[in-house]
Amino acid sequence: MTITARQVAIDVLNRSRARDGFASELIDDALGGANLSAQDRRFVTQLVFGVIRRGGTLDALLKPFIKIPLHAVQPRVWDVLRLGAYQLTFLTHVPKHAAVHETVELVVHAGAERAKGFVNGVLRRVAELVTDDFCTKAGTDAVPFDGCEVPIPPPPFSEVRGDSRRAGAPAKARDASPPMRFVGRYRKLARPILPDPASTYDAYFAAAHSFPQWLANKWLARYGPDECTRLGFWFNAPPPLWVRVNKLHASRESYRIQLAAALIEADPAEHPQSLRFPEHHLIRELPGYADGDFAVQDHSSMLVASALGVKPGMHVLDLCAAPGGKTTHLMELMDNRGRITACDIEAARLETVTTLCQRLRIKGVETVVLTEDGELPNGPFDTALVDVPCSNTGVIGRRPEVRWRLKPNEFEHLVRLQTRLLIEALSRVKPGSAVVYSTCSIEPEENEGVVGTVCKGMRGVKLEAEHRATPGRPSDGGYWARLRKG
C-alpha cells in the first residue's frame, strides 16, 4: 500500500503530541521506513515542523469555525485540522482545493472516518478566510508569514550635520555595516480573527506568532514589541543549515572547493570552521559525510568549545556531552591529541557521541554514564566544559516542541541543577584552570544568574569572559561564560 507524505506527517504529529520523542528524531525514524522521493521527504519535514511551530496560530484560525465543544474534538482530528490549516495559510505552492481534499482523506488514515464531513466543513471555512493578499503591518486580520532584515538607508547628504564628509570621516566609520531594520510580511485574512496588536500586543504576539502566553509575557517584558516581533518571525522560519568543517581532515576553503565541485554553495562566517548553506540539503548526501569532513553544528554552538582555549595533551571534563558536537570539536581543537571524559546520564545518548567520534575519526574520548544524583569523575582535570541542560529557548526554531512542553515552574529546578553542575566542575579542575559554562537558552536566570551566583559563592572563582548569542544574528541563541579557578 502506497503511503503519502501527508500520511507520514500525520503519524509523526500524532507521536510528537504523545511525546514519543522530538520531531527531528521522529521524522528520521518515519522516513527510514517510508519509500518517498526526496521532494516528498522534504515535504514531510516542512509539514511536521510547520504545524508544531505554528500550532497556536492554527488553533486561533480554526476555533471560530468549530461549533462543538473543543474538548469533544479528538486529538487525532485536531492533528488533521492543523495540518490542513497550515497548508492553507502558510504554503502558497499548495492549491487550496488540493490542501482541503488531501487533508480530508487523511481522516480515514488517522482512524476517525466519521469526522470527514466535520473536517471538510471546517477547512473549507479556513480556505475562505485566508486570502492571497499580503501586507507589511500586523493587524487583527494579518497573520505573520515571513520576513527579513533590510539596511536602513543613510540620510541625504544635506541632513548630515558638520563637515565630516567634506573633511573625510574615519575609514572605520565609513566602512561600517549599515544599520538594519526588520520587515515582516503578513498574510491577510478576509475578516478579523486575531487580537488587536495596537491595544493587546501581548495577546496578539502569543496567538499570531504561536507562543504560550506566559512566554510571550516574559519576553515582552524584557525585549519589547519590536524585538519580540523579530524573534517571532525568526523562530517560526526554518533555521539555516550550518556545518563545522573538521580541521583534522580539511581547511574550510578546501571543503568549500569540494562543495563547489558538487555545485553546492556555502558561505563562511565568523568562526574559522563554520559554513552556512543558503539552501537545505540532505546531510548524508553532502560531499565528505562518510569521510568525516564535517559535523552539523550551529554557528553559536561552535563558539563554545573555542572559548575554552584547549591545547593538545590536555585532559578535559565534558559534562552533559551528548550528542557530541562540542566533544568532537574540543578534540579537533586539540589536534586529536589529548583525553576527554565525556559524561551524560543516558547510555543511549552517549552512543551518539561514540558514533560521531567514529565518523569524524576522533580519538581519546572516554564516555562515562552518570546516575542522575551520582558522583562525577574525580579528576583533577586540566579544564572543563559544562554545557548544561536548559530551557532551550534560544533554539526554539530547531526544537519547536520546546515552546509547548516548557512550563514556567521548570526554571527553578533547572537553575538549581545548572548551579550544582558548574560548582562540581569547578571543584574537579586544577587551580588556575578555565571552565566554560554554556546553555542554548536566552533566559538571564539560566545564564548570567547562575554564573553570578557561583562566582559569589566560590572563593577565588572569577568571570573571565562571556558571550550572548542573539537568535537570528546570525544563528541560534545561547550563552557561554569562561570562569577561572584561582
Is residue 250 in some structural domain?
A: yes
Question: Could you write out the three-class secondary structure of the chain?
Answer: CCCCHHHHHHHHHHHHHCCCCCHHHHHHHHHHCCCCCHHHHHHHHHHHHHHHHCHHHHHHHHHHHCCCCHHHCCHHHHHHHHHHHHHHHHCCCCCHHHHHHHHHHHHHHCCCHHHHHHHHHHHHHHHHHEEEEEECCCECCEEEEEEEEEECCCCCHHHCCCCHHHHCCCHHHHHCCCCEEEEEEEEEECCCCCCCCCCCHHHHHHHHCCCCHHHHHHHHHHHCHHHHHHHHHHHCCCCCEEEEECCCCCCHHHHHHHHHHCCCCCEECCCCCEEEECCCCCHHHCCCCCCCCEEECCHHHHHHHHHCCCCCCCEEEEECCCCCHHHHHHHHHCCCCCEEEEEECCHHHHHHHHHHHHHHCCCCEEEEECCCCCCCCCCCECEEEEECCCCCHHHCCCCCCHHHHCCCCHHHHHHHHHHHHHHHHHHCECCCCEEEEEECCCCHHHCHHHHHHHHHHCCCEEEEEEEEECCCCCCCCEEEEEEEEC
Same domain, 64 and 211: no
Is residue 164 in some structural domain?
A: no
CB of 449 closer than 8 Å to CB of 439: no
Same domain, 326 and 352: yes
pLDDT category of residue 171 using cuts at 50, 70 and 90? very low
Residues 6+ apart with CB under 8 A from 26: 12, 15, 16, 20, 48
β-bridge pairing 142-151 and 180-189: antiparallel
**Neighbour tally for 443: CB within 10 Å:** 23
**302 — alpha (psi -120 to 50), left (phi > 0) or beta?**
alpha
Is residue 330 in some structural domain?
A: yes
Model pTM score: 0.91
Instruction: Give the residue with greater pLDDT, 38 vs 309.
Output: 309
pLDDT category of residue 342 using cuts at 50, 70 and 90? very high
Separation between Cα atoms, residue 154 and residue 177, nearest integer Å = 11
Is residue 157 in some structural domain?
A: no
Query: What integer best gives the mean pLDDT of the chain?
Result: 93
Is residue 163 in some structural domain?
A: no
Maximum Cα–Cα distance across the chain: 78
Same domain, 194 and 335: no
β-bridge pairing 365-369 and 339-344: parallel
Q: Is 432 exposed, middle or buried (0-12, 13-18, 19+ CB in 10 A)?
A: exposed
pLDDT of residue 176: 55
Separation between Cα atoms, residue 245 and residue 332, nearest integer Å = 10
pLDDT of residue 373: 67
Is residue 421 in some structural domain?
A: yes
Q: Is 389 exposed, middle or buried (0-12, 13-18, 19+ CB in 10 A)?
A: middle
Separation between Cα atoms, residue 391 and residue 443, nearest integer Å = 8
Q: Which residue range is the domain that position 417 belongs to?
A: 299-485
Number of domains observed in the structure of the chain: 4
Across-strand partners of 466? 481
Catalytic residue among 135, 320, 440, 455: 440
Is residue 169 in some structural domain?
A: no
Same domain, 260 and 311: no
pLDDT category of residue 162 using cuts at 50, 70 and 90? very low
CB of 209 closer than 8 Å to CB of 237: no
Separation between Cα atoms, residue 304 and residue 109, nearest integer Å = 45
% of the chain surpassing 90 pLDDT:
88
Same domain, 481 and 407: yes
pLDDT category of residue 92 using cuts at 50, 70 and 90? very high
CA distances from 258 to 250, 274, 409 (A): 10, 15, 48
CATH number at residue 14: 1.10.940.10
Across-strand partners of 180? 151
Active site residue 343: no
Same domain, 186 and 333: no
CATH number at residue 387: 3.40.50.150
Same domain, 114 and 144: no
Same domain, 229 and 246: no
State mean pLDDT over 199-214: 98
Same domain, 264 and 330: no
Same domain, 21 and 115: yes
Is residue 173 in some structural domain?
A: no
Going edge to edge, which strands form the sheet with 142-151? 130-135, 180-189, 142-151
User: What are the pLDDT digits (tens) for 432-448?
Assistant: 999 999 999 999 999 99
Same domain, 246 and 232: no
β-bridge pairing 267-268 and 315-319: unpaired
Separation between Cα atoms, residue 219 and residue 227, nearest integer Å = 9
User: What are the pLDDT digits (tens) for 370-425?
Assistant: 986 667 898 899 999 999 999 999 999 999 999 999 999 999 999 999 999 999 99
CB of 194 closer than 8 Å to CB of 143: yes
Looking up cell 490549516 gives 85
CATH number at residue 270: 3.30.70.1170
State mean pLDDT over 281-302: 95
pLDDT of residue 167: 44
Q: Is the pLDDT of residue 181 over 90?
A: no
pLDDT of residue 160: 46
Separation between Cα atoms, residue 126 and residue 142, nearest integer Å = 14
Domain's final residue, options 255, 288, 321: 288
Same domain, 116 and 147: no
- 175, three cell numbers: 566602512
pLDDT of residue 442: 98
